[in-house]
Structure 1
Amino acid sequence: MRKPTSAADDIVFWGLMLLTAWAPLPLGSNRPWSMAFLALLSGLLLLGLAIGHLVTRKDSPPLHRGLRLPLALAAVPLVWALVQWSTWTPESWHHPIWRQAAAALGTPLEGRITVNPDATLSTLMNLLGYLAIFWTAMATTRDPARARLALRLFALIGAGYALYGLAIFFSGTETILFFDKWDYFGSVTSTFVNRNSYATYAGLGLLCAVGLIIEDIRQRLPRQPLHMRRLPALALDIASRKFLSLVVILLLACALMLTGSRAGIGSTLIALVVLLGISLLRDRRSGLAGGLTAAAPLVLVLLATFWLASGPILDRLDENSPAADRLPAYRLALHAIQDTPLLGTGYGTFQEVFAAHRDLTVASPSSWKKAHNTYLENMLELGVPAAMALNLAIALIAWRALRAMSSRRRSRIYLTVGVSATVLVGLHSLVDFSLQIPAIAAAYAFIMGVTAAQAFRQTSQGPEESDG
């Protein structure tokens, strides 16, 4: 049964959608001012949600017991980053750079764990903003209809940025907004600088679009097995009714392929296999053959797009793999982690720390600002325990969504999209830093907020709601 939403929730929800639409525009929000602005707006949305509940005297539903552990784990890196920044920690914990700087300057300095206090606070601000987006999305999309609208709007936003990127690509102007490109010529990057980062963003939009059309197909399938003669007519009906959705998928898939990002495209394809596999294998009403046939328009659009736009990616297959290019940097990062495995060097301090460890085994050693492996970078900066707590918090929410699928029918797609999105960003984070781009981290937090709203849904009858 659909639950009415309050006016305050409606306002916050539409504010969240505007924020989601804005985040990719200023170069993926990957500049100091746009990072701070995104975090500020995220916090204001969360504050607006709280004020709205106070003014309307609306009681928030009790915290689902399954959320307690992920939230507690997510709090670990937040608290630890503040500890790293503080000056009241034992001197034996402080990074040696503070003693060296004091000796060089000939004046006492307050030591800290972090080597760059400003970078640690800035990165902590970003993480708080993503958590605010996650919580706001979770609080405003408990209604399955609202969750569906949220994913549909996100897919349309993604299609808009894909259309812009394709228009710039085929015009041959090599620009990003009002700026001339300074890298990644001949690749679709939309409003992002890095093609790998945009590939992740396009992939997230594609997962939402494909997931929604798969759900539409599932709902149109009869409960009894279909006769084979009726399947072509059903596929044609779905294609005519979902023409706009297929256009959205076409735009996103084409833009994704024309990025030429091997890791981004590969991670998205694996995530699509996961999404399609879960969606089709779990639906036994019309059988797997019926589901595949009904999904024929979608499959044909994806295959045709990947074939037509495969040029850039095929051209790059002769090059070394992304992981092979970065193995020396990973080795140096592991050595740096061994220096301070528990304390870390300070959240957001990879660039400074890596500069002290790099050598000529790394290509262009002076230009490395990211580890190109989010897991290693987090372990270096936060320390292994806090980094593992952050990863485990995300994994537990995805695992809960996967488990909840057995008790869901109408809202299963929101869980499937969240799981496949986690596969996408999780795999890509092994060889790149897309999740460290604010617009992408905000998009993923938004999707996982929608997923968590359905995975941890509560009703007056009990802690969990079954759709079956």
Structure 2
Amino acid sequence: MGFLFMLNKFIFYSLCSLIIWLPIPLGSNRPWAWAISELIVFALFFLHCIFNIYKNNGFFPPLRTWPIFTLIGTLLLTLLIQIIFSYSTDPIQTKIVLLKTASFFMFAWLICVYTIDKKRITTIIYALIIAGLFQAIYATFLNLSPPSYTPIFGFQYSQRANGSFVYHNHLANYLAIILSIGIGFIISELDIKKNSNSKLTHYFRGFIKALLSKKLVIRLCLIIIVVALLLTRSRMGNIAFLVSLASVSLFALKFYKSKPWSLKYLIISFFVLDTIIVGSLFGADKLQERLAETSFIEETRDEVIQDSIPLVKQYYLSGSGGGSYYGLFPTKQSIPYSGFYDHAHNEYVQFAIEFGVLSCFLSFFSLLYILYICFKNMTQRTSPLYQGVSFGVATAITFMILHIIVDFPLQATANAMTFIVIICLGLLSSKKRLAKN
């Protein structure tokens, strides 16, 4: 029994360590980097199988987590069909994507199996915040005192915060989904009932208590992450985050069950303190300049999407094969662009081309169903942790739905796997079948 207990803990804390590691090697967006994550996941899944040789239960994840496996499984099955029946226009790249997607499936499986209680959900959230904080500090340091080359991996540094990512918009996406779950976690720590005693001493005592609590530490971490998000100067990254936070917040203020009395003040503080005060000190004006200077005449992403539509029509049924977009797009490119586009800068278009319209629709429907579950959790669950986590997951999903309209963050392994973790937390926070809240 002692061996099984230690193996259980080893697998779980290895998953937490992997979460922190994922963004460090260039967002795991290089073959050698995502190969490391794949090897770790495959090794942990092998240990999971060994664990269940000695323990004849607990191999399968909870039934309530099935939507994430429907989402990833749809893509995995499509890739298998493309390879078996030779539908892929680039079989080598499709096999690479198949291996990566299989690791995503196993990773979600392990997260859902080993995140067995509230304590472990909290530990996973801490791991996410630590990972986001490291990226934020690293990105802010480089941006405020930029050297010629980054101290890690020796990449030439640009004026827009990248952190250890290659592409600033990937960092913006990563930080935004970390912020989302972090805000949800803070909400879960809010007091439900306001102190009926309105004496100044009680308010002062509450203020001191807040200063000494973990809420303040987490709040400070999130402020640092907000600074880094602003320094990326990602237009859609920042706008999509504010829109998603505002949308989910309005829903929560209206329908949240047992709403914390200070919820509205916390939400207001994020918009006032983070976007106005912090933003004025750390480059929000430069972000505004980028927004004002945005021109559809100079912007070529819309032309890339327009030129990609014929590929959607051509491969709408079976898809062209996972990872094949970069080789197909030049055949449909109408005019030379500034730079080489190996991605569509629109995940909906690229997924529809590579996986087919049906698989793309089923995956997106699964994501919307998970979002519905999160909204349902906020209105029905009585556990503050499950409600707060659902708030954060709903914000992250809404943000991702918006951001992938103009970018390709899910092509970076760190972003995709971190998003999978967050989705799993939302499903693990849902109501168990035949159980009370």
- Does TM-score exceed 0.5, indicating one fold? yes
SS of residue matched to 1:147: helix
Please list, as runs of the form range in 1=range in 2, the aligned pairs for 1:168-247 lying within 5 A after superposition: 168-182=142-156, 185-217=158-190, 220-222=191-193, 234=206, 237-241=209-213, 242-247=215-220
How do 1:55-454 residues align onto structure 2 when only pairs under 5 Å count? Answer: 55-60=54-59, 63-64=62-63, 67-68=65-66, 71-72=69-70, 74-86=72-84, 89=85, 112-182=86-156, 185-217=158-190, 220-222=191-193, 234=206, 237-241=209-213, 242-283=215-256, 285=258, 290-293=262-265, 301-303=273-275, 304-309=277-282, 310-320=284-294, 325-360=300-335, 363-364=337-338, 367-410=340-383, 411-454=386-429
Cα pair distance change 1:157/1:253, threshold 3 Å: same
Q: Which amino acid aligns with 1:357?
A: K
Task: Note the C-alpha offset of 1:26.
Answer: 1.0
Does residue 10 (structure 1) correspond to residue 9 (structure 2)? The answer is: yes
Report the Cα offset of residue 240 of structure 1.
Answer: 4.6
CA contact (8 A) 1:131 1:445 kept: no
When the two chains are superposed, the root-mean-square deviation of aligned CA atoms in Å is 2.8
Describe the superposition over 1:387-432 as per-residue Cα deviations: whole angstroms up to 9, x where unpaired. 2222222222222222233331222112222111111111111100
Distance 1:211 1:426, change over 3 A: same
Per the alignment, do residues 299 and 370 of structure 1 end up closer, same or farther by CA in structure 2, a change over 3 Å counting? Answer: closer
Q: Give deviations 1:100-154, integer Å, cap 9, x for gaps.
A: xxxxxxxxxxxx3211111001112222222222221111223122112211221
Offset at 1:311?
A: 2.9
* Mean CA deviation greater in 35-44 or 323-332: 323-332
**Offset at 1:440?**
0.5
Q: TM-score, normalised by structure 1?
A: 0.83
CA distance in 2, matches of 1:67, 1:295: 29
Partner SS, residue 367 of structure 1: coil
- Which has the larger displacement, 235-244 or 293-302? 293-302
Structure 1 residues 187 and 270: CA distance shift in structure 2, 3 A: same
Give the secondary-structure state (helix, strand or coil) at the position aligned to 1:201.
helix
CA contact (8 A) 2:258 2:382 kept: no
> How far 1:313 sits from its partner (Å)?
0.7
| 372 and 231 in structure 1: CA distance in 2 versus 1, 3 angstrom threshold | farther
Q: Which stretch shows the higher mean deviation, 187-196 or 335-344?
A: 335-344
Quickly say closer, same or farther: Cα 1:268–1:72, change in 2 above 3 A: closer
Give the aligned residue type for 2:287: I
Query: Which sections of structure 1, spanning at least 5 residues, go unmatched?
Result: 90-111
Closer, same or farther: CA 162–22 of 1 in aligned 2, 3 Å: same
Supply the distance in 1 between the matched residues of 2:266 and 2:234 (Cα, whole angstroms). Answer: 31
Whether the 8 Å CA contact 1:279–1:413 is kept in 2: the answer is no
After superposition, give the CA deviation of every residue in 1:188-226 in whole Å (9 maximum; x if it has no partner): 110001110000111122122222222212xx2426778
CA 1:371–1:232 in 2, change beyond 3 Å: closer, same or farther?
farther
Q: Calculate the TM-score normalised by the size of structure 2.
A: 0.88
Q: Name the CA distance, whole Å, in 1 between partners of 2:403 and 2:67.
A: 26
CA contact (8 A) 1:259 1:312 kept: no
Paired residue total? 427
Is 1:20–1:154's contact at 8 Å kept on the other side of the alignment? yes
Over 3 Å counting, the alpha-carbon distance change for 1:295 and 1:389 in structure 2 is closer
Q: Which residue of 2 is the match for residue 48 of structure 1?
A: 47
Deviation of the 1:23 alpha carbon: 0.9
Deviation at 1:284, TM superposition (A): 6.4
Letter in 2 for 1:426: I
The higher radius of gyration belongs to 1
- Identity across the alignment (%): 20
Query: What is aligned with 1:92?
Result: none
What is the CA–CA distance in structure 2 between the aligned matches of 1:166 and 1:253, rounded to whole Å?
10
Q: Post-superposition shift, 1:375?
A: 0.8
